[in-house]
Structures are given as structure tokens and as C-alpha cells.
Amino acid sequence: MIKVGIVGGTGYTGVELLRLLAAHPNVELTAITSRKEDGMPVADMFPSLRGVVSLAFSAPEKARLTECDVVFFATPHGVAMAQARELLAAGVKVIDLAADFRLKDTAVFEKWYGMPHSCPDILEEAVYGLAEVNRDAIAKARIIGLPGCYPTSMQLGYAPLLAQGKALVNEAMLIADCKSGVSGAGRKAEVHTLLAEASDNFKAYGVKGHRHLPETTQGLEAIAGRRIGLTFVPHLVPMIRGIHSTLYAHILPEARDTDFQALYEKHYEGERFVDVMPPGSHPETRSVRASNKLRIAVHRPGGGDLLVILVVEDNLVKGAAGQGVQCMNIMFGLEESAGLMHVPVLP
């Protein structure tokens, strides 16, 4: 059994990790940290886990994380890089759900996250945890920087277009129009996530620049092997879970005869967690709720030169905790889908 520790188990991604890992056939939950809730049974905070998780929260210094095989960080940015060195030295693998090990350029990280990077040497060896793109590197990794929720949808949505060795679309003018539920903002109390603020409302934010833009650009350029240009506009929608990304790309004249539906189906053939839907489909966020599944539909309105790709995922599962478990499975040589074959919840 894999001994698993979770640092920061009181947020939405933390409880999602608990839900998934508690039912994982190869996992023994060993430690869950929270300084404020030290000694509180997990099930007292999260009644959904009564009879499933018997552990109590522990202060970090009591948690004996170095005795684990892998530690997940479901914490604010900056926490994982402060503890990663000690864990790695003890032979513990690290999977960070925050941004500490996503951006390879420390200057870019410091610009967007407003803090210095304390372990650039560890950052250099960190692997970006997008399984469908970096599976081989993840299998050999000691430390994983998980993608953000928006970047997961954008990169998997655009990947088949960019991975062909030649340009099929105008890669300098990719446009991503993305919407997320309120849980993407985390469990902390903030005015914009109050019921009276978020309900019955719809708004864009971060239009002049969002911290997921450099991460996504970095990932797309790694897939393409060349520079790309991306405009990314996120929106907040009045729902709890889910991301819906509508991606646009202008088809180049020399690629007009390409069968893009077939291209996507071939690219994701055999992938357990990416579903390329039939032509004309319109995936809904509720079709992936509480699952690790990402669904894609490819459209070419009027048979013209504009390609529209619709992508849906659960931001807390495929966009966070589920993707982390998927990476853990790969790192330990398990069946990649172990503990992740949950059927989406509907209605």
C-alpha cells in the first residue's frame, strides 16, 4: 500500500483528495495536516467522509510526513517549496496542487505570484503533471507541479492541433473563452464568492492578465515546439463545480481539407479520461461533475475556416485532485485509472 500524506486538507481540493484517496485500492491515508484544526477528526469538518476517513487533522510538525511514500500539497502558493527539500531528501515523492512547480522561469513565477522562488534547483527537475502530455516524464519524477484547472482544459483542448509537427491553425491568434464555477476560488471567505454576489450573476475577470496565461502558454509551446500567441479570458459563473472552455482557432489555407474530428479522435485514442464526443455534440459541465473525465467537442461552423473546440471538466477533479491521483498512479506504476473510475454525478 502507498502511504499518502496531505498537507492542507481543509480546502476544496483537500477534501476532494480525501474523497478519492479514501476509496483508492492501493492507498493508505497516513497524515492530513492543518495547524488550526489540529486534533479535529476529519469527519467532523466534512460529514460526507463519516465512516470513510477515520483520521484526525494534525499540526504539520506532528504529522510525520517523511514516513509517507508521497505527499500532496493542497495549500496556498509558496507552501510546497518551503517543505519539498526535506521530503525529497527523505525519499518522499511530492505532488503540488499549487503553482510552486508549474512555471519553469523563476522570474515569470515571481512576477505573477508576487514571491521569490526558494528552490529553483528543485523546480528545474520538477515535471509538469499533465498526464496525457507528459506521461513518460511523470513516471520517472520525484516531484510534480500539477496544472491549474483552466490550463488543463486549454492545453488538452488545443493539443491535437499543435502536436502535428506543422501548423494547421494560426498559432499566433488562439483565443480561449473560459468559465469556471465558484469553487475554483477556493474555500476561503471572500466577498466575490458570497451567495449574494456570485448567484444570479456572470462576469469576466483577469482580462488584462491572469496568472494561468503564462502557464498555459508555456505548456502549449512545449507541445508545439514553437512560439504561440494566446488570448485567455476567464469568467465566473454561478455554479459550484465545473469549467467550460470555448477555444477558437483560425484554420490555415493549406489545412482546410483536414478532418479535425478524426484528428482529435486519433490523438486521444486509448485515453481513459479524455472523451472526444461525436460531431455536433455540445458537452455540458454536469456530464463530468465529480469525475476525472474531460470531454471535448470539435466544431467547424458552416464548414468555414474557424475551428471551435468545446471542453468541459470538473475543476476540482480533472482540474486538480483527480489529476493529482492520476499522476500518483503513474509515478508508482499502478493502473492509471485506479481509484478514478467514478461515474459523473447527474443531475
Catalytically active residues are: 149
Q: Which three cell numbers stand for residue 309?
A: 473546440
Distances from the Cα of 196 to the Cαs of 190, 199, 236, 238, 274, in angstroms? 12, 6, 14, 10, 35
Measured at the CA of 98, the angle between CA 93 and CA 102, to 5 degrees, comes to 80
Whole-angstrom distance, CA of residue 290 vs CA of residue 288: 6
- Under DSSP, is residue 185 helix (H, G, I), strand (E, B) or coil? helix
The dihedral formed by the CA atoms of 232, 233, 239 and 245, expressed in degrees to the nearest 10: -40
Contacts of 91 by beta carbon, 8 Å cutoff, 6+ apart? none
Whole-angstrom distance, CA of residue 160 vs CA of residue 248: 13
Whole-angstrom distance, CA of residue 247 vs CA of residue 244: 10
Q: Residue 323, exposed/middle/buried by CB under 10 A (0-12, 13-18, 19+)? A: buried
Strands (E), 172-229: 174-180, 203-204
